[in-house]
Chains A and B, each alone.
Chain A
């Protein structure tokens, strides 16, 4: 039995505990207080306004859009990211040689800044951008990618899926490589088709890794900021206005600290509850099919 060493334990964890006190507990309390005031970052007086900010937030079309936009991102980004990373993983995993080299190449997008990706996408897809010019000249297609609400949210989802898919692919590959190859040989001997083999063997055995990817991707969907800030500004017509974007605008553009804190609090509750529910559903789904 290890002997207890309380002093040492608290000493070693003290940086974390101190940090949590200053940069977690204090801001959390402060935020709850701000949310019930009308403070605007400048005024010397702070007035208590009760639930007024929350009521105003719920009636604000921008806040309402943030609520729905997040789920739209969830429904677009998560399947895109899973499909792309699964594609990468299946392609790379079957290679007998140079597996590491390909994986490194596929991981590179993770190192990109959202600002830089936005610059490239704007250069390619803005109305007079390189790709759009090409489409008009060669195919006669005239698409205003960033000016149309449907295409704009798709473009942003795709950008983030591009960035994350190599990383998620790594997670799936580590899941794939843990599957015993003898099972595949047995399936082949039984005359099982590739499609059946994938759904009956690969997918169920891959589920734990897939679960990790899904949870990570769901988390990302609730925290989108850089790409929409840079590329669409939340537009067109709030089509890509995420929670973070709305909070940033209210707090640092309109300087309404109290109001923005109320929105942040609403968004935190919605995010926490949504992720919790999605997590439970995924776990249930896996258990019911006997995958996890």
Chain B
């Protein structure tokens, strides 16, 4: 009886410690939200603000920060467009390529596989300058295409899908082929429905990554007509240094959609991670 009591006591302590650590870990998010609503003379002056106002938010959605009309709303929309299209292209192409690598028997498959692995370990920074020059030569600087096209293939996504598809029994594919289905139909009607949780995982990682990309979007986007929210916050970092309130509000706008998306899919995500981490 005493032993049991001791055990439940230490378990309670464990929950307290875990909760405490968790609060420290998510404290930056709380700071972000609190300071987006703080009175301007308290932003970054005290850790927990005591006076609140909506000034940062009204400022953000007004026309006061750059020359363009409501640049922050525009930047948010650009972010949605770029991240969504790029991520769906990455998913689509990754699925297609991975299907071939996992389920189609063709000459040269081994070479393609090796090329993929080689590229995954290759330091991509060496490609940055020529990629930028290429995009500028074909006139795609400051365009959505310039931001999307060079980022529409994810080696990691191909790799993850290939491993997952390999675990799908060949007999299933063969059976569908005998029923007269072609490989497109098999991919979309048989393989895709089986891959829901792994797709959720890949989607969330790719979307987060694309949504918060800085380096590429920063060098391609040259004006308010294409700038993404992450890049705009980065550019306004200095000019707003003395009144950072609106920057906190903008950061909430940048971060919240990702958190909501993640929470929305967290069940599927947990399921998918179990496979992804094997």
Interface residues of A (CB under 8 A from B): 2-6, 8-13, 15-17, 19-20, 22-24, 26-28, 30-31, 34, 41, 87-88, 91-92, 94-96, 100, 102-120, 123-124, 126, 128-131, 133-134, 162, 165-166, 170-171, 174, 209, 222-223, 225-226, 229-230, 243-244, 247-248, 251-252, 257, 260-261, 264-265, 267-268, 271-272, 275
**A150 CA to B49 CA in the complex, in Å?**
30
**A129 CA to B158 CA in the complex, in Å?**
44
| Residue B2 CB within 8 A of the other chain | no
A243–B273 CB distance below 8 A: no
A243 touching B100 in the complex, CB below 8 Å, given contacts A34-B130, A116-B251? no
| Residue B197 CB within 8 A of the other chain | no
B26 CB contacts on chain A under 8 angstroms: 105, 108-109
Residue of B whose beta carbon sits closest to that of A16: B97
**A105 CA to B17 CA in the complex, in Å?**
14
Interface residues of B (CB under 8 A from A): 11, 14-15, 17-18, 21-22, 25-26, 28-29, 31-32, 35, 43-47, 93, 96-97, 99-101, 104-109, 112, 115-116, 119, 121-123, 125-134, 150, 152-153, 158, 170, 183, 208, 211-212, 214-215, 219, 230, 233-234, 237, 244, 247-248, 251, 254-255, 258-259, 262-263, 266, 270, 273-274, 277-278
B277 CB contacts on chain A under 8 angstroms: 170-171, 174, 209
Shortest Cβ distance from B259 into chain A, in angstroms?
6
A2–B170 CB distance below 8 A: yes
A19–B45 CB distance below 8 A: no
A31–B126 CB distance below 8 A: yes
A30 touching B125 in the complex, CB below 8 Å, given contacts A102-B22, A103-B270, A112-B28? no
Determine which of B11, B132, B247, B258 lies in contact with A111 in the assembled complex, contact meaning CB atoms within 8 Å: B258
Shortest Cβ distance from B32 into chain A, in angstroms?
6
**A275 CA to B123 CA in the complex, in Å?**
10
**A17 CA to B96 CA in the complex, in Å?**
12
- The secondary-structure label for the interface of chain A is helix
A260 touching B130 in the complex, CB below 8 Å, given contacts A16-B116, A109-B25, A116-B233? no
A16–B158 CB distance below 8 A: yes
**A31 CA to B134 CA in the complex, in Å?**
11
B105 CB contacts on chain A under 8 angstroms: 2-5, 9
B46–A6 CB distance below 8 A: no
